[in-house]
Amino acid sequence: MTERPFAVFDIDGTLIRWQLFHALADELANAGHIDVKAYQPVREARMGWKNRTKHDSFHAYERTMIDLIDAAISNITLDAFSQACELVIAEYKDQVYTYTRDLMKDLRSAGYLLFAISASQEQIVRLIANHYGFDDCGGTCYEIKNGRFTGDKTVLKRDKKPELLRRRVTRHGAVWKRSLGVGDSESDIPMLETIERPIAFNPNRGLFDHARQNGWEIVLERKNVIYQLESRDGSYLLA
């Protein structure tokens, strides 16, 4: 059996141009599974981020949304949740970045195994992974009993991503040599540190600073232009 290298991709903001978790929250609210008034703080926090009122406004918005979902999830049936996931995927599945979409195609042709790892809910991660032909995936797991969510969950935090990746590598008999990983935020750093070729794609400040300090590749995609930056002699040059 030929040993195969692998590539691991974050999903939200790396493959998909938006955040699947956020789109799912909107869909649940629009369908009436989350109270409109209860969801209003999420909308306000989102506008705070869009207006860049504070340097950490995105994290404040995300935290507000996560807290609301955690509070509401036990009142949402699995069927309603699954339907919302399907609707989100139908809308966003093709709203992807050209760079990562084409990179996946090239790597698959070169014989790579492809893994998708995201902090979004595992159900929606698996849908997007199936759509793009990933060999395996992983995400945040919400406990389900008797067709309903219990409210308990196992969050795929940044320090949990390397172990989940190692399990996928072992499961598929992949090899670490020539491994490649792509992420867009500091939550991907622990996972990318295990990879032979880490790529910071449209990185936020935390990942950008770490990538620069360690000489990682940095790739930016804006409008219809892709900029690849390479570290040379302590500085970055356009490749």
Residue 111 to residue 53: CA distance in whole angstroms: 46
Chain segment 99-121, per-residue pLDDT in tens: 999 999 999 999 999 999 999 99
Q: What is the pLDDT of residue 13?
A: 92
Chain segment 41-65, per-residue pLDDT in tens: 999 988 988 888 877 888 888 889 8
| Residue 32 forms part of a structural domain | no
Average pLDDT over residues 71-91: 92
Show Cβ contacts of residue 153 under 8 Å, excluding neighbours closer than 6 positions.
Answer: 70, 73, 140, 141, 142, 143
CB atoms closer than 10 angstroms to residue 155: 12
Average pLDDT over residues 19-37: 90
Total residues belonging to the chain: 239
**What domain range includes position 195?**
4-18+94-238
Q: At what angle do helices 57-72 and 36-50 cross, to 10 degrees?
A: 160
| Residue 84 forms part of a structural domain | no
| Residue 44 forms part of a structural domain | no
| Residue 58 forms part of a structural domain | no
Give the up-direction half-sphere exposure of residue 189: CA atoms within 13 A in the CB hemisphere: 15
Residue 184 to residue 192: CA distance in whole angstroms: 10
Token couple for 35: 């109270």
Question: How sure is the predictor about 1, in pLDDT bands with cuts at 50, 70 and 90?
Answer: low
| Residue 49 forms part of a structural domain | no
Q: Which of 131, 97, 137, 128 is nearest to 23 (CA)?
A: 128
Residue 207 to residue 187: CA distance in whole angstroms: 8
| CATH code of residue 152 | 3.40.50.1000
| Residue 40 forms part of a structural domain | no
pLDDT mean across residues, the chain: 92
| Residue 122 forms part of a structural domain | yes
Q: What is the pLDDT of residue 174?
A: 97
| Residue 83 forms part of a structural domain | no
Number of independent structural domains in the chain: 1
- 173: amino acid identity, one letter: G
